[in-house]
Amino acid sequence: MFDDKKLWRDRSSNRVKELGRYLRYIFNGHLVIVLLFLIGTAAFYYQKWLVTLPANFPAEAILAVILGLFLTYSPVYNFLLEADKVFLITVEEQLKSYFFRCGTVSLVLQGYVILIVLAALMPMYAHVNDHGFGLFLPIFLILLVGKLWNIAVKWRMLYFVQMSVQRWDMVVRFFINIIFTYLLLKQAHFFILLAIGLVMLFYFRFFSIRTRNMGLKWDILIDQEEKRMASFYRLANMFTDVPKVKDTVKRRKYLDFLISRMKFSQEETYMYLFSRAFLRSSDYLGLFVRLTVIGSLAIYFITFGIGQILLSLLFLYLTGFQLLPLLRHYQNKLWIDLYPVSEKYKQAAFHSLLMVILSIQAIVFALLILLKGEVGAGLLGLLAGLLFNWLFVYVYSKNRVKA
């Protein structure tokens, strides 16, 4: 006899073990120290920035947009596997309790994220509202109900095959979430909030009726769950070897000019391979672009003086540390062993490429400081960044990574 409770216990416990196994490597000692430093620095400059805000600062609108994004993004974690489309589809009607538990877990985890985001943004709201902190708990509870509505609607959307329906639903829910959150923060009249709440209720009711006679789209559910886990595995793969990770590669022909002048020689073999891997892999290039953009925005908008230099070094460390797995990118490719190329060229090519990548990032950070008119800090930041890169590449990484 099929037992959906046992299925839930097995799937949820296996997922917790799987995540815990790799989270130990992700939140290692080095990263925890860096994150604490980053959070402390951000909190310091955040507090400094709040003091400069005028009384008419549109905090409610900014909070509404940010919270609206977190409310709208409401995936349902279902813990399904590829084989389930064959073995579980026959007992779909008996899985209502299983999927209800999935929705509950999704609400708890995403509700916790809402709590953290709201707590981080509350000082901004309290700066323009005398009763800001006193309203924290009521606002959070109402937003939690809003998150429940978003998850429930998202689940009904998964009954549709047409992706256009899901995209339009995201747009509609995003604007509803923004309007409702903005009026909530503005402390609008109760009946206005109630009217929007009724609209949200009718919206869910409409799609609930439309999907009443539809079956679950198992392909979509499993595909979305696999994509979520693949993203986690790619993150974990930056800290340890993950057998389940699947490389995502894009041609990016427009970047060929960066390596078109490399010589066809033994000395340049690994430089060409590592450069190709960096430019084509979304893991490496995407990570470099994201950290460069985030670091640039943080340096330009929320720091000044010595804080800019320290933040530059922090992002250089984060980038370099997460690019270290590039050295082992080809370790499972047997055809690499057929190359008549000495192992010393592999190490030299990796360290040279890593030095170039981090130097480009250091130059970008220094230019942003110069654009703010702080010439001395900009030049000091460039020198500190290049010195840090040399120590990281030729001292730290040589001891950290073995070919």
Asked whether residue 239 is domain-assigned, the answer is no
Q: What 3-state DSSP class applies to 249?
A: strand
pLDDT value of residue 205: 93
Residues 258 and 354 in one domain: yes
Asked whether residue 242 is domain-assigned, the answer is no
Burial class for 51, CB neighbours closer than 10 Å (0-12, 13-18, 19+): exposed
Residues 109 and 213 in one domain: yes
Contact at 8 Å (CB) between 258 and 275? Answer: yes
Radius of gyration, alpha carbons of the chain: 25
AA letter at 79: F
Taking residue 85's Cβ as centre, other Cβ atoms within 10 Å add up to: 15
Crossing angle of helices 343-371 and 306-323, in 10° steps, is 150
The CA distance from 342 to 335, in Å, is 15
Residues 259 and 375 in one domain: yes
Residues 222 and 114 in one domain: yes
pLDDT value of residue 172: 94
Residues 169 and 302 in one domain: no
List, in sequence order, the alpha helices (H) in 129-217. 136-157, 163-185, 190-210
Asked whether residue 318 is domain-assigned, the answer is yes
pLDDT value of residue 234: 72
* Separation in Å, CA 35 to CA 42, 106, 308, 317, 320: 10, 25, 16, 11, 15
Residues 146 and 10 in one domain: yes
Contact at 8 Å (CB) between 27 and 240? Answer: no
Residues 175 and 284 in one domain: no
Picking from 201, 231, 261, the residue at the C-terminal end of a domain is 231
Asked whether residue 243 is domain-assigned, the answer is no
Predicted TM-score (pTM) of the model is 0.73
Residues 217 and 260 in one domain: no
Residues 21 and 71 in one domain: yes
The CA distance from 89 to 86, in Å, is 6
Residues 28 and 101 in one domain: yes
Q: How do the pLDDT tens digits run along the chain, 403 residues long?
A: 677 888 888 998 999 898 888 888 777 656 677 677 777 777 877 888 888 888 788 888 999 999 999 999 999 998 888 888 888 888 888 888 899 999 999 999 999 999 999 999 998 888 877 776 888 899 999 999 999 999 999 999 988 878 888 889 999 999 999 999 999 998 888 899 999 999 999 999 999 998 888 888 888 888 888 888 887 887 776 666 666 666 565 556 546 556 656 666 555 677 777 777 777 776 777 778 888 888 888 787 766 777 788 888 888 988 888 888 777 766 656 556 656 566 666 778 888 888 989 999 999 999 988 888 788 888 898 999 999 999 988 888 777 765 4
The total domain count for the chain is: 2
Owning domain of residue 9: 4-40+50-231
Triad 45, 49, 51: Cα angle to 5°: 125
Residues 167 and 126 in one domain: yes
Residues 113 and 222 in one domain: yes
Asked whether residue 139 is domain-assigned, the answer is yes
